[in-house]
Amino acid sequence: MSRVTDQGGRFTPPMPESRPEGAGVISMWHRARRNLFAALPAKLYRAWLAEMRTPFYSSYLANDPTLVRTALQERPMDFPKSEIIRAAIGDLLGRSVFVTNGAEWQRQRRIIDPAFEGGKLRATFPAMLDAAEAASDRLASREGVVEIEYETAHAAADVIFRTLFSVPITEAAAERTFQAFRRYQSAAPMVNMQDLMRLPGWVPRVGRRRRLQRRAAREIRALLLEFVEARAREIAAGTAPDDLATKIMTTTDPETGERFDAAEMVDQVAIFFLAGHETSASALAWTLYCLARDPEAQEAVAAEVRDAFDGPPAFSDLRKLPFTRDVFREGLRLYPPVPMMVRETARAEQMRGKEIRPGSAFILSPWHLQRHERIWDEPHLFDPWRWGRTDKATVRDAYMPFSAGPRVCTGAGFAMQEGVLFLASLVGRFRFAAVEGREPVPMAQLTVRSQEGIWLEVRRR
Ligand code: HEM
């Protein structure tokens, strides 16, 4: 059951239902077909290390900050990316940086990371601002009740097209790619419960709707290849714009001197689109929903924006928006777009008295860690003011919407810039209100989405 309670103006946003204690494997499977969250027990909000046993396999979910640190920061090579992820989305991502491990992954990061470093990020600001203004104008033309997830997905895809390829989403090929991504997203949960349970290969992967997914993946890759090949021609002719695609395609690996070839670049572009627009769209939609439910916080953002700038913001104006930033951080705490990350134990581990066999699924869950009932005060409450009083250790130990360690999200800085800019642009221009009787229920798809959309009433200020 989702839960929405307003007590004295404070707001606890909806949570997914949990699996009842004692429910068996079959029930878990059926619930997972509807919504992965519904297959997980409520005790995960209090557990430090939970074991999930099935007849075939055991998986572990770690919330103990020491264990999370071990897996992500101290010994990441002993907790590589799981094959489960490649099985789930490899048809779209090929061998992109998101799914590879070891030397292959290191080489890819050496080429990609420079494009997202501080100074380069600043260069993406004008394209991001154009996308924010276009989104704001679209919303102005649709005043009334809107499904905000669709709007934010469209806007975040626009950000990616403009920053990566200098192309607005209004161009036909960009729009077609976006629509194919939507079909892919609705057909593919990032982590399939049946994979987590390691059901044998002959058990049909219900719920994945594989054929639909494969067709969408093929279409997306063909469209992205056209973008990449066109860009390669422009680079050769010396006419390429100075955007992220050009930066990545012209960067050589400092160790080997190699660049990405066209096929590798398609793999990387596919993950930028997927990781870069689904996640930002989800974060922005849930944060706007929380603001719609918390008028005091919403008006505080609007006031901060009014004080910070008049007219279109400059890059340096973002620094004048600390509360807006805290609101976005709080949205990412309650609704981390990547709710769980699956790793695999490369060797036997002993943790909190449990013997963990090599090859076990080892899950790190921003969703549970960031709502952990033994770590956070009032963990399920939307309270952007908490960021002014939460101690550093809690943030370090129990806040990781972008993961942590060497595999931390490449786009974290990009996404924070985008989130703050979009919140400021939209809340500065519009007032958002929740639509009674249409509370969204979170579900785990590729990212955290709502079961039937997030409906908000939008009016110009
Ligand atoms: C609010 C927005 C975003 C959130 C919450 C987010 C979150 C994450 C998380 C949790 C991971 C780690 C996944 C894992 O290890 O299993 C990740 C990885 C990644 N993200 Fe993001 N991301 C966001 C936006 C972006 C953007 C805008 C880009 C690029 C344009 C991006 C590119 C990537 C890439 C390439 C990886 C793979 C890194 C690696 O494995 O080495 N992300 N992201």
In this model, does residue 179 exceed pLDDT 60?
yes
| CA angle, residues 172, 178, 181, in degrees to nearest 5 | 145
pLDDT tens by residue, 313-372? 999 999 999 999 999 999 999 999 999 998 999 999 999 999 999 999 899 999 999 999
Mean pLDDT, range 109-124, rounded to an integer: 89
In this model, does residue 408 exceed pLDDT 80?
yes
Residue 416 or residue 2, greater confidence: 416
Domain count of the chain?
1
In the chain, the largest separation of any two C-alpha atoms, in whole Å, equals 65
Q: How far does the centroid of ligand 1 lie from the alpha carbon of residue 6, in Å? A: 33
Q: How far does the centroid of ligand 1 lie from the alpha carbon of residue 142, in Å? A: 31
Bridge partners for 5 per DSSP: 12
pLDDT tens by residue, 281-315? 999 999 999 999 999 999 999 999 999 988 889 99
Task: Tell me which of 83, 266, 279 to substitute to probe ligand 1's pocket, judged by most ligand atoms within 8 Å of the beta carbon.
Answer: 279
pLDDT tens by residue, 89-106? 788 889 999 989 999 999
Q: How far does the centroid of ligand 1 lie from the alpha carbon of residue 409, in Å? A: 4
Contact in structure between 56 and 200 (CB atoms under 8 Å): yes
In this model, does residue 1 exceed pLDDT 70?
no
Among protein residues, the one with the nearest Cα to ligand 1's atom 1 is 280
Q: How remote is the C-alpha of 407 from its chain's centroid?
A: 14
The pLDDT of residue 209: 64
The pLDDT of residue 200: 43
258 vs 250: CA distance, rounded Å: 10
The pLDDT of residue 29: 67
Q: How far does the centroid of ligand 1 lie from the alpha carbon of residue 415, in Å? A: 9
* Ligand 1, CB within 6 Å, residue ranges: 97-98, 109, 271-272, 275-276, 279-280, 283, 337-338, 341, 401-403, 407, 409-411, 414-415
Q: How far does the centroid of ligand 1 lie from the alpha carbon of residue 272, in Å? A: 8
Average pLDDT, the chain: 88
Q: How far does the centroid of ligand 1 lie from the alpha carbon of residue 410, in Å? A: 6
pLDDT tens by residue, 431-447? 999 999 899 999 887 68
Question: For 49-58, 171-180, 191-200, 428-437, which range has the lowest pLDDT when averaged over its residues?
Answer: 191-200
Mean pLDDT, range 159-164, rounded to an integer: 95
Task: Tell me which of 409, 416, 448 to substitute to probe ligand 1's pocket, judged by most ligand atoms within 8 Å of the beta carbon.
Answer: 409
Would the pTM count as exceeding 0.75?
Answer: yes
Bridge partners for 361 per DSSP: 59, 344
As a whole-number percent, the residues of the chain with pLDDT over 90 amount to: 65
Residue 378 or residue 22, greater confidence: 378
The pLDDT of residue 188: 60
Among protein residues, the one with the nearest Cα to ligand 1's atom 10 is 402
**Residue ranges making up the domain that contains 368:** 5-460
**Residues across the chain:** 461
Tally of CB atoms within 10 A around 261 = 11
The pLDDT of residue 8: 56
Q: Which amino acid type is present at position 3?
A: R
Buried b / exposed e over 128-151, threshold 16 CB at 10 Å, is bbbbbebbbeebeeeeeebbbbeb
In this model, does residue 204 exceed pLDDT 50?
no
In this model, does residue 197 exceed pLDDT 60?
no
In this model, does residue 119 exceed pLDDT 80?
no
For residue 340, the number of C-alpha atoms closer than 13 Å in the C-beta half-sphere is 27
Residue 412 confidence class, pLDDT cut points 50, 70, 90? very high
Among protein residues, the one with the nearest Cα to ligand 1's atom 9 is 402
Residue 54 confidence class, pLDDT cut points 50, 70, 90? confident
Residue 201 confidence class, pLDDT cut points 50, 70, 90? very low
The pLDDT of residue 199: 47
Q: How far is CA 156 from CA 57, 126, 159, 414, in A?
A: 38, 15, 5, 12
Mean pLDDT, range 103-122, rounded to an integer: 90
> Tell me, what CATH number does 215's domain have?
1.10.630.10
SS3 annotation, 82-104? CHHHHHHHHHHHCCCCCCCCHHH
- Spatial CB neighbours of 399, under 8 Å, sequence gap ≥ 6: 329, 333, 369, 370
